[in-house]
C-alpha cells in the first residue's frame, strides 16, 4: 500500500472525523507520507471565536498525530463550500489521496453522501476514500469492482483498482472479493428481446459469459494472490445492483471501484455506478479516476479571495501551550 505520499484528511467530529483520521494516520505512518488535516468552515461559521477554536482543535490533533509516529503533519482551516475547498486544496497542495468520513444511517449521511462525497467522487482529481464510522481497522472483507471489458485504452482503470484492493487485502490479511458484473450489449441485446428460441437465447448468453470470463481471467492472471483469500464473482447483472447486493451479502468493509468518466471533458460523467453504490451501501468506499481525468474545479485567479485561510506546520505544533 506504499503508493500515497501526500494525504489530505477532512476532519469533522460531527460526521465520523475520528475514524477518517485514524485511517489516515495508519496510512501515513506506513508510507512515511505527509499528512494534512483540514476542516472546512462554511461562510456562516466564520466568527472569530469559531475560527480560533477550530485552529486550536486541529493543532491539538496534529500534536497527537505526531506523537503516534507521523512526523510530517500539517493543519489547514479552509472556508467556503466544502467540496470546492477540498478540491482546491488537493490541486494546490498536490495531494494524492483524500480521506473523509461520513456517518451512515442518519440524516447526516444524506447530507454528506448526497453532496460533498458525491462531488468529490465526480470532480476530485485524486482517489477519494470515504470511511464509515465505527469500522474496525484493519478491514476484514474488501470488494474490488472491475470491468475488464472496458476499452484497452482504459485497462489502466482496472489495474488501479486491483493494485489498491490487493495491496489493502494483503496489508490487512483481509478476504478479497472481486466482482465483474456484465450485461448483454450491442445487437445481441435487441436479439434476445425478440422472438427467438430458448436455445438461441442461451447461446447468446453463453457467448457473452465466455467473453467476460476470459477478460476477467486475463486481468486476474496479472496478480499472484497465493497469500490472499480471494473469491471471484462473475455476474450477469447491472453493476450497481451487483456491487450493492454483494456488499450487503458478504458484509463488506470497503469497496474499491472506479468512477466512470469520459476523459478530456471536465466533470462529465456517464452512468456513474459509484454514485448509485455510495447512496445504497453501509460500508466505506475508495474510488479512483481514469487516466486523463480533468477536474472542472480550478484555483482562484487571485491569491487573496477575501477568505481567511490558516496553515500550521509540524514545527508550529511543537509550540502549542
Could you tell me the pLDDT band of residue 137, with boundaries at 50, 70 and 90? confident
**Is cis: bond before 138, omega within 30 of 0?**
yes
Tell me how far apart the alpha carbons of residues 215 and 263 are, in angstroms, rounded to a whole number. Answer: 23
Name all contacts of 212-219 with Cβ < 8 Å and 24+ positions apart.
212/148, 212/149, 212/180, 212/182, 215/148, 215/149, 215/180, 216/146, 216/148, 216/180, 218/148, 219/146, 219/148, 219/158, 219/162
103's grid cell: 456517518
Tell me how far apart the alpha carbons of residues 107 and 129 are, in angstroms, rounded to a whole number. Answer: 20
Lowest mean pLDDT among 36-40, 277-281, 305-309: 305-309
Q: What is the CATH number of domain 1-125+300-321?
A: 3.40.50.620
Q: What is the domain partition of the chain in residue ranges?
A: 1-125+300-321, 137-294
Q: Which pLDDT tens digit goes with each residue over 149-163? A: 755 555 788 999 999
Tell me how far apart the alpha carbons of residues 132 and 250 are, in angstroms, rounded to a whole number. Answer: 16
pLDDT beyond 50 at 319:
no
Tell me how far apart the alpha carbons of residues 202 and 209 are, in angstroms, rounded to a whole number. Answer: 10
Higher pLDDT, 271 or 7: 7
Q: Positive or negative CA dihedral for 307, 313, 315, 317?
A: positive
DSSP classification of residue 261: B
CATH homologous superfamily of domain 137-294? HUPs (3.40.50.620)
Residue corresponding to grid cell 460533498: 116
Average pLDDT over residues 204-231: 92
pTM for this predicted structure: 0.84
CA atoms within 13 A on the CB side of 74: 16
Could you tell me the pLDDT band of residue 220, with boundaries at 50, 70 and 90? very high
Model pLDDT, residue 15: 63
Out of 72-76, 104-108, 276-280, 286-290, give the one with best mean pLDDT. 72-76
Q: Which pLDDT tens digit goes with each residue over 245-291? A: 999 999 999 999 988 644 444 444 444 677 778 777 888 899 998 88
Residue corresponding to grid cell 509540524: 314
Tell me how far apart the alpha carbons of residues 1 and 37 are, in angstroms, rounded to a whole number. Answer: 20
Name the helix (H) or strand (E) containing 198: helix 198-220
Tell me how far apart the alpha carbons of residues 194 and 245 are, in angstroms, rounded to a whole number. Answer: 29
Higher pLDDT, 294 or 311: 294
Could you tell me the pLDDT band of residue 224, with boundaries at 50, 70 and 90? confident
Amino acid at each position: 500500500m506504499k503508493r500515497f505520499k501526500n494525504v489530505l484528511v477532512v476532519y469533522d467530529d460531527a460526521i465520523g472525523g475520528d475514524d477518517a483520521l485514524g485511517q489516515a494516520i495508519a496510512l501515513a505512518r506506513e508510507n512515511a507520507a505527509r499528512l494534512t488535516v483540514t476542516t472546512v468552515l462554511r461562510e456562516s461559521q466564520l466568527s472569530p471565536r469559531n475560527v480560533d477554536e477550530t485552529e486550536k482543535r486541529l493543532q491539538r490533533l496534529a500534536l497527537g498525530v505526531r506523537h503516534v509516529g507521523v512526523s510530517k503533519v500539517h493543519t489547514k482551516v479552509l472556508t467556503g463550500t466544502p467540496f470546492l475547498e477540498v478540491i482546491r486544496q488537493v490541486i494546490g497542495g498536490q495531494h494524492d489521496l483524500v480521506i473523509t468520513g461520513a456517518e451512515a444511517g442518519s440524516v447526516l449521511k444524506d447530507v454528506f453522501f448526497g453532496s460533498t462525497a458525491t462531488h468529490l467522487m465526480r470532480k476530485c482529481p485524486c482517489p477519494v476514500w470515504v470511511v464509515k464510522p465505527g469500522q474496525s481497522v484493519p478491514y476484514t472483507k474488501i470488494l474490488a469492482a472491475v470491468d475488464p471489458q472496458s476499452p484497452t485504452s482504459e485497462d489502466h482503470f482496472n489495474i488501479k483498482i486491483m493494485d489498491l484492493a490487493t495491496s489493502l487485502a494483503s496489508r490487512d490479511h483481509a478476504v478479497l472479493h472481486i466482482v465483474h458484473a456484465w450485461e448483454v450489449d450491442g445487437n445481441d441485446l435487441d436479439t434476445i428481446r425478440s422472438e427467438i428460441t430458448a436455445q438461441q437465447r442461451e447461446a447468446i448468453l453463453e457467448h457473452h459469459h465466455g467473453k467476460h470470463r476470459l477478460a476477467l481471467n486475463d486481468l486476474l492472471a496479472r496478480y499472484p494472490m497465493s497469500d490472499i483469500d480471494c473469491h471471484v464473482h462473475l455476474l450477469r447483472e447491472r453493476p450497481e445492483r451487483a456491487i450493492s447486493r454483494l456488499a450487503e451479502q458478504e458484509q463488506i468493509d470497503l469497496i474499491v471501484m472506479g468512477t466512470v468518466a469520459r476523459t478530456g471533458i471536465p466533470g462529465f460523467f456517464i452512468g456513474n455506478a459509484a454514485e448509485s453504490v455510495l447512496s445504497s451501501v453501509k460500508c466505506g468506499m475508495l474510488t479512483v479516476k481514469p487516466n486523463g481525468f480533468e477536474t472542472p474545479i480550478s484555483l482562484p485567479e487571485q491569491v487573496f479571495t477575501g477568505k481567511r485561510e490558516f496553515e500550521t506546520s509540524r514545527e508550529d505544533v511543537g509550540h502549542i501551550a
